[in-house]
Amino acid sequence: MLIRTEESVTEHVACTACACVCDDLRITVADGRIAGLSTDCPHAVAWFASHEPSAEPAAVVRDRPVSVTEAVQAAAEILRKARAPLIYGLSRSSTDGQRAAVALADFLGATIDTTASEGHAPSILALQQSGESTCSLGEVKNRADLVIYWGSDPVVSHPRHLERYSLEPKGELIPNGRADRTLVVVDVARTATAELADVFIQVKPGRDFAALWTLRGLLQGIEPAPGTETGVPLETLRDLAERMKTCRSGVIFFGYGVARQPLGHRNVEALLRLVIDLNAFTRFYARRMRVLGDVSGADNVLCWQTGYPFSVNLARGYPRYNPGEFSAGDLLAHGETDAVLFVGTDRIDTFPLAARERLTQIPTIVLERANCELPVTPTVRVTTAVYGIHLPGTAYRMDEVPIPLRTTLPQQAPSDGDILRAILAELQGEKSETPSSKHQISSSR
């Protein structure tokens, strides 16, 4: 007997598995499942494969399956009783959900924080001090003939970054692609990306600041005093400084290897000031290697809603910004929050041990996609749809360029934005239709 399988193909799909947000994918869907993908990027393959149909309940309260309406009421009750609630996550959300989270935090007088506080927070602090000479990835593709990865291994963390943006693509002023570019990798050990590099520079662990500051001096013709710790052999740094000065257009992509160190913000500040100095000689840029799909979007939404990118406290009726004091991991570790609403659960595993222990002592609410293994056992969980899979939306690429997200699978759950608005309406005592597990997003959004 011949069984007919219905197939549909969606072009130009954006992938939010990482902050590259590659938007050139072709997705084949058969019988409500993703049956084909036009890339072999391991992150994309794993991401799209994780959205298989699930038998999980639409919502759970204290390990008991309930309706979404009951879960919303339970979540609202937890937040109503909390004296110092915290909202955390947002990097797997979209602009709609992020705005709804800020509105809820504002009503509650809560602290709202993104995964940036466990990621590139030192980089954001540094650029607030020194400024940032930066550009879009399109500018890199079209102009950069010198590409430097410092403390970053994109072959592992961002598998298509070199292919699409930095090394291989042909650009307006780079007609021969890879042949017109020099790739330099600076890291404490040889990485997968270093194997592709024209020049690999091994810096001593914890000596990035010394190497960067020495480079700044060499650009100005200042030689370090004999015996000065430079982190890298001086001749190697002289060669790198000359390459930087004489390139037509250059870029440094830097990652956690620079930022996530003790005093990492000083490392990044030194790097950003080096790039500013280089613009006296040539066109040069710096760009953070953001990790999660829409963490840049979370930063952007918080900025234009509160004035600050992460770690924002609204308890006094106006936004206060103080990374460390109002960062999720620190608030939990110090016992300064009594209820947490997670919008996505990425990077909870990087919290301090005391913070993770605190999560076992207070009520937690989790809005998360199906088939996701949770790092906490929540008091309330609501399964939500995924932007770019079940819902349209907007994700911000690592260079803050907004990318539209397409729908590839039918929606079987409400969005996090809908749930957050329903919780807010419940807290305000308004009568509203709580989105059901079959809720369809309005066409006006």
Residue with tokens 């270093």: 194
Least confident of 29-38, 83-92, 108-117: 29-38
- Asked if the structure places residue 147 within a domain, the reply is yes
Q: Are 149 and 186 in contact (CB under 8 A)?
A: yes
- pLDDT, tens digit, 9 for 90 and up, residues 293-304: 999 999 999 999
- pLDDT, tens digit, 9 for 90 and up, residues 225-234: 999 999 999 9
Residues 215 and 347 both lie in one domain: no
Q: Are 373 and 54 in contact (CB under 8 A)?
A: no
- Asked if the structure places residue 140 within a domain, the reply is yes
pLDDT category of residue 32 using cuts at 50, 70 and 90: confident
The pLDDT, as a whole number, for residue 182 is 98
Strands of 25-30's sheet, edge to edge? 7-13, 25-30, 33-37
294 CB contacts (<8 Å, ≥6 apart)? 16, 19, 21, 90, 91, 92, 93, 94, 98, 387, 395, 396
Give dist(CA 16, CA 1) in Å, integer. 40
Residues 260 and 302 both lie in one domain: no
Percent of the chain's residues with pLDDT above 90:
91
Give dist(CA 255, CA 418) in Å, integer. 34
Write the DSSP string, 60-95: EETTEEE-HHHHHHHHHHHHHH-SSEEEEE-TTS-H
Where among 242, 268, 288 does a domain terminate?
Answer: 288
Q: What does pTM read for this prediction?
A: 0.92
Residues 284 and 306 both lie in one domain: no
Q: Which helix (H) or strand (E) holds 314?
A: none
Give dist(CA 327, CA 303) in Å, integer. 16
- Half-sphere exposure (Cβ direction) of 365: Cα atoms closer than 13 Å: 27
Question: In terms of residue numbers, what domain contains 166?
Answer: 121-288
pLDDT category of residue 56 using cuts at 50, 70 and 90: confident
Residues 261 and 180 both lie in one domain: yes
- Asked if the structure places residue 437 within a domain, the reply is no
Residues 128 and 277 both lie in one domain: yes
User: Which of 344, 288, 50, 10 has the alpha carbon at shortest distance from 161?
Assistant: 288
Residues 283 and 186 both lie in one domain: yes
pLDDT category of residue 31 using cuts at 50, 70 and 90: confident
- Asked if the structure places residue 307 within a domain, the reply is yes
Residue 441 has pLDDT above 60, yes or no: no
Q: Are 231 and 240 in contact (CB under 8 A)?
A: no
The phi and psi torsions of 427 (rounded to 5 degrees) equal -65, -35
The pLDDT, as a whole number, for residue 96 is 96
The pLDDT, as a whole number, for residue 435 is 60
The pLDDT, as a whole number, for residue 254 is 98
The pLDDT, as a whole number, for residue 439 is 44
Q: Which helix (H) or strand (E) holds 146?
A: strand 146-150
List the CATH number of the domain containing 321.
3.40.50.740
Average pLDDT over residues 312-339: 97
For CA atoms 357, 358, 362, 366, give the dihedral sign: negative
Where among 288, 316, 349 does a domain terminate?
Answer: 288
Summarize the chain as % helix, strand, coil (round to 5): 35, 20, 45
Cα 187 to Cα 25, 92, 204: the distances in Å are 31, 29, 8
Give dist(CA 122, CA 377) in Å, integer. 30
For CA atoms 292, 296, 297, 298, give the dihedral sign: positive
The pLDDT, as a whole number, for residue 2 is 46
Residue 1 has pLDDT above 60, yes or no: no
For CA atoms 286, 272, 238, 262, give the dihedral sign: negative
- pLDDT, tens digit, 9 for 90 and up, residues 394-430: 999 999 999 999 999 998 899 999 999 999 999 999 6
- Asked if the structure places residue 25 within a domain, the reply is no
Residues 86 and 225 both lie in one domain: no
Cα 201 to Cα 126, 129, 198, 253: the distances in Å are 24, 28, 10, 15
The pLDDT, as a whole number, for residue 433 is 55
Residues 180 and 304 both lie in one domain: no
Residues 347 and 227 both lie in one domain: no
Residues 221 and 129 both lie in one domain: yes
Residues 253 and 320 both lie in one domain: no
The pLDDT, as a whole number, for residue 235 is 97
Instruction: Give the number of domains in the chain.
Output: 2
- pLDDT, tens digit, 9 for 90 and up, residues 170-216: 999 999 999 999 999 999 999 999 999 999 999 999 999 999 999 99
Residues 359 and 246 both lie in one domain: no
Mean pLDDT of the chain: 94
Residue 440 has pLDDT above 50, yes or no: no
Where among 236, 256, 288 does a domain terminate?
Answer: 288
Checking DSSP bridges between strand 85-89 and strand 339-343, what pairing results, if any? parallel
**CA angle (244, 238, 179) in 5-degree steps:** 40
The pLDDT, as a whole number, for residue 430 is 66
User: Which of 45, 48, 89 has the alpha carbon at shortest distance from 388?
Assistant: 48
**CA angle (359, 362, 367) in 5-degree steps:** 70
- Counting Cβ atoms within 10 Å, is residue 433 exposed (0-12), middle (13-18) or buried (19+)? exposed
Average pLDDT over residues 110-117: 97
Tokens of 396: 């911000």
- Counting Cβ atoms within 10 Å, is residue 234 exposed (0-12), middle (13-18) or buried (19+)? middle
List the CATH number of the domain containing 144.
3.40.228.10
Average pLDDT over residues 57-67: 96
Give dist(CA 302, CA 314) in Å, integer. 12
Give dist(CA 65, CA 382) in Å, integer. 10
- Asked if the structure places residue 406 within a domain, the reply is no
Average pLDDT over residues 239-248: 98
- Asked if the structure places residue 156 within a domain, the reply is yes
pLDDT category of residue 437 using cuts at 50, 70 and 90: very low
Residue 442 has pLDDT above 90, yes or no: no
Give dist(CA 296, CA 64) in Å, integer. 35
The pLDDT, as a whole number, for residue 311 is 98
- Asked if the structure places residue 279 within a domain, the reply is yes
Taken as a whole, the chain contains a residue count of 445
Average pLDDT over residues 20-43: 94
User: Which of 325, 331, 324, 383 has the alpha carbon at shortest distance from 359?
Assistant: 331
Give dist(CA 140, CA 145) in Å, integer. 8
